[in-house]
């Protein structure tokens, strides 16, 4: 039944971070614009079962799917560029493949055979790829890593075999490579691409289409040279020049003829692509009227990929409000060590994202306090909600040593504590509260105003929660739940009523935000930041106007008063003043 599905395999060469994920997502977007159904898969060559326990500095963001899988951040690109809702089966690793094969061997499923990379590992990979294709027109599969890496060889062998298994009309190979520009000679060089294709052909794969990343224009002569040495036609060499906005990529690929070439090579009949929505969105991106700066306070700020979905959700919220969103990443450890200086002088909103561990926590708490006291829009996500609760308990409710038991197990005010079902768990990987859970929005709250519905579903990734024993104390001072779990035992949203916009959520709304369908929380938050900036300008204008009016009034008084008099000061002649006396007010 999978034979009706067409498979597109995306590989990468020369170096990492070329944009294989964005290329795969953009192909998916173009196929959808032609009326086809798509799904996408990322195959990662590392031995970890999933990226859930990996340091964000090494791997970047962990993207959580609807069914609770902790996956590669490229799945976030896939969901933002297409309408596909991805699950556990849309991302697997070398670790998962070997684990599955070993478990089968232990159960005796190989009937005493010697278990080897070929055919047992490659067969396991192929089975997962085939199962992905059920029920869709096109399955786009990204092979992680770079051609030439030892770790990715079993994946390359598996996709090589699939062309023979499924037929050449059902399999397409797209290779993403680099055309570096050498400034000294003023030339775009094709040799790295030639060598990358050579390495791919050595493992038995001839790419059908080349996507060439470049910062300079690719001329017809360059395409013909690449085609000659890489055994493709010039029209199968797609230039991928750098763009200002990643959501321009599908339109640029269409201009290069990529989608037309794909359907020709796969022998698919489709309608002409409907690209109006993408074009309209990009026009909106290039005509933003406002501009706001958001201070993101975290400890992974040196690698912006750690907050990839968050960054894109803020961007989408900005476009919705016709505002360019500038992201200012602020290291919470520096605030902790040096105190607050001028970090927030130029921001119009403060956001504390998710995270784990005690490092930098006190800096985040100070950031929350600054936002609350200075009436700056505040958005806390996951850990960001938890530190908001801690700050409020300490500084508003008088619970001086309030804390989360994650950071201080002996705190007398455990306003955040471990969930009951997590207390007996010892394994770290894949054991948190993961995936989509329902939340019941409380009536007459900001949350209900934002969502405009009573029941929502949001994705989670946490072990600690709001301690319901303190709900009454915090609520009496104004920090109230905006949403609860269906059984009423877990607080999913908190909000502070005596503030222009102060919201914390235990879930991760950034995972469900898409460029043309921004998440309601982000749309509302950026709107509040725009209004905050307008208030600042109005206050500054009023202050400037009052100062100018005062100067004009003083100037008129100076012209009217007799010589020797100053406003509010009586000046006596030195002859009349006693020796040693001074002027008096």
DSSP category for residue 509 = G
Tens digits of residue pLDDT in 161-211: 999 999 999 999 999 999 999 989 889 999 999 999 999 999 999 999 999
pLDDT for residue 96 is more than 90: yes
Q: What is the pLDDT of residue 573?
A: 37
pLDDT, averaged across the chain: 90
Which pLDDT band, with edges at 50, 70 and 90, does 583 fall under?
Answer: very low
pLDDT tens for 418-463 read: 888 787 887 777 788 899 999 999 999 999 999 999 999 999 999 9
Residue with tokens 């890593």: 145
Three-state DSSP state, 570: strand
| pLDDT over threshold 70, residue 556 | no
Mean pLDDT value of segment 135-153? 95
* Residue 108 parent element (H or E): none
In this predicted structure, what is the pLDDT of residue 300? 80
| Residues contacting 116, CB < 8 A, separation 6+ | none
Give the mean pLDDT of 255-270: 96
Residue 17, pLDDT score = 85
Has residue 576 got a pLDDT over 50? Answer: no
Asked if residues 521 and 528 have their Cβ atoms less than 8 Å apart, the reply is: no
E strand segments, 299-354: 323-331, 349-352
551 pLDDT band, cuts 50/70/90, is: low
Asked, colleague to colleague, whether 2-282 and 288-419+426-530 share their fold, the answer is yes
Task: Tell how strand 187-188 and strand 290-298 pair up.
Answer: unpaired
575 has pLDDT over 50: no
User: What's the start-to-end Cα distance of the chain, in Å?
Assistant: 97
Q: Is the pLDDT of residue 1 over 60?
A: no
Least confident of 313-317, 346-350, 532-536, 571-575: 571-575
pLDDT of residue 3: 46
Q: Which residues of 547-577 are buried (b: 16+ CB within 10 A; e: fewer)?
A: eeeeeeeeeeeeeeeeeeeeeeeeeeeeeee
Task: Write out pLDDT tens, residues 216-241.
Answer: 999 999 999 999 999 999 999 999 99
Mean pLDDT of 354-373: 93
Q: Which of 119-123, 130-134, 318-322, 521-525 has the lowest mean pLDDT?
A: 130-134
DSSP state at residue 582: -
In the three-class reduction of DSSP (H, G, I as helix; E, B as strand; rest coil), residue 7 is classed as: strand
| Cα gap 441→493, rounded to integer Å | 8
* Token representation of residue 491: 């607080």
For 56, 77, 152, 223, 528, the CA distances from 383, given in Å and listed in that order, are 15, 24, 35, 50, 21
Position 506 scores a pLDDT of 96
What residues act catalytically?
382, 508, 510
φ/ψ (deg, to 5) at 274: -100, 100
Fold adopted by 288-419+426-530: Rossmann fold (3.40.50)
Residue 572 has pLDDT above 50, yes or no: no
Tens digit of each residue's pLDDT (9 = 90 or more) over 13-71: 999 889 999 999 999 999 999 999 999 999 999 999 888 778 776 777 899 999 999 99
* CA dist., res. 465 & res. 7, Å (int): 43
**pTM as predicted:** 0.89
Task: Give yes or no for residue 303 having a pLDDT over 90.
Answer: no
Query: Which pLDDT belongs to residue 521?
Result: 98
543 or 395, higher pLDDT? 395
d(CA 90, CA 106) in angstroms, rounded, equals 26
CA angle 224–228–233, rounded 5-degree value: 65
Residue 270 is predicted with a pLDDT of 94
301 near 329, Cβ under 8 Å?
yes
User: How confident is the model over 269-283, as pLDDT tens digits?
Assistant: 999 999 999 999 999
Structure tokens at 245: 């906005």
Domain range summary for the chain, segments of one domain joined by +: 2-282, 288-419+426-530
Q: Residue 20 in 3-state DSSP?
A: helix
CATH H superfamily, domain 2-282: P-loop containing nucleotide triphosphate hydrolases (3.40.50.300)
Of 383, 363, 381, give the one whose Cα is nearest residue 314: 381
Q: What average pLDDT does range 342-362 have in this prediction?
A: 92
pLDDT band at 550 (very low <50, low <70, confident <90, very high): low
C-alpha torsion 545→547→549→554, nearest 10? -170
Q: What is the residue whose two structure tokens read 């690698």? A: 303
pLDDT per residue as tens digits for the range 98-118: 999 999 999 999 988 999 999
């Amino acid at each position: 039944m999978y034979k009706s599905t067409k498979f597109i395999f995306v590989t990468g060469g020369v170096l990492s971070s070329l944009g294989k994920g964005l290329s795969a997502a953009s192909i998916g977007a173009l196929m959808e614009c032609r009326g086809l159904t798509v799904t996408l898969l990322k195959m990662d060559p590392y031995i970890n079962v999933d990226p859930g326990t990996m340091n964000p500095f090494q791997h970047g963001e962990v993207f959580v799917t609807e069914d609770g899988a902790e996956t590669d951040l490229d799945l976030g690109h896939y969901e933002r560029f297409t309408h596909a809702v991805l699950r556990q089966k849309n991302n697997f690793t070398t670790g998962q493949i070997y684990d599955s094969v070993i478990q089968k061997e232990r159960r005796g499923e190989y009937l005493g055979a010697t278990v080897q990379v070929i055919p047992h590992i490659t067969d396991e990979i192929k089975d997962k790829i085939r199962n992905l294709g059920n029920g869709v027109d096109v399955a786009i599969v990204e092979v992680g890593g770079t051609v030439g890496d030892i770790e990715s060889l079993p994946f390359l062998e598996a996709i090589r075999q699939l062309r023979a298994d499924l037929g050449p009309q059902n399999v397409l190979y797209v290779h993403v490579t680099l055309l570096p520009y050498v400034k000294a000679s003023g030339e775009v060089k094709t040799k790295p691409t030639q060598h990358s294709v050579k390495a791919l052909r050595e493992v038995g794969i001839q790419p059908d289409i080349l996507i060439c990343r470049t910062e300079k224009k690719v001329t017809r002569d360059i395409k013909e040279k690449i085609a000659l040495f890489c055994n493709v036609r010039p029209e199968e060499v797609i230039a991928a020049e750098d763009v200002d906005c990643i959501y321009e990529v599908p339109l640029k690929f269409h201009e290069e003829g990529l989608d037309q070439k794909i359907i020709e090579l796969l022998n698919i009949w489709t309608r002409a692509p409907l690209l109006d929505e993408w074009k309209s969105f990009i026009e909106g991106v290039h005509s933003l009227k406002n501009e706001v700066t958001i201070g993101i306070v975290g400890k992974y700020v040196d690698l912006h990929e750690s907050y990839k979905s968050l960054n894109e959700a803020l961007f989408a919220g900005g476009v919705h409000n016709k505002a360019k969103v500038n992201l200012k990443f602020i290291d919470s450890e520096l605030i902790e060590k040096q105190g607050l200086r001028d970090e927030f002088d130029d921001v119009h909103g403060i956001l504390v994202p998710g995270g784990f561990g005690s490092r930098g926590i006190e800096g985040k708490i100070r950031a929350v306090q600054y936002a609350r006291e200075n009436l700056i829009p505040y958005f806390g996500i996951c850990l960001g909600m938890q530190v908001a609760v801690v700050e409020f308990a300490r500084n508003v409710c008088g619970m001086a040593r309030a804390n989360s038991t994650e950071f201080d197990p002996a705190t007398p005010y455990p306003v955040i504590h471990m969930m009951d079902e997590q207390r007996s768990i010892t394994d770290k990987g894949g054991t948190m509260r993961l995936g989509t859970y329902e939340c019941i929005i409380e009536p007459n709250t900001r949350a209900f105003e934002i969502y405009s519905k009573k029941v929502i579903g949001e994705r989670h990734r946490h072990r600690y929660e709001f301690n319901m024993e303190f709900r009454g104390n915090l609520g009496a001072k104004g920090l109230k739940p905006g949403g609860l779990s269906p059984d009423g035992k877990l607080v999913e949203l908190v909000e502070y009523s005596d503030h222009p916009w102060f919201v914390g959520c235990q879930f991760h709304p950034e995972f469900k935000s898409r460029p043309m369908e921004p998440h309601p929380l982000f749309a509302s938050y950026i709107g509040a930041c725009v209004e905050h900036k307008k208030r600042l300008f109005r206050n500054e204008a009023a202050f400037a106007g009052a100062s100018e009016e005062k100067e004009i009034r003083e100037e008129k008084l100076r012209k009217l008063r007799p010589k020797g008099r100053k406003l509010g000061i009586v000046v006596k002649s030195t002859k009349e003043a006693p020796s040693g006396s001074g002027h008096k007010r």
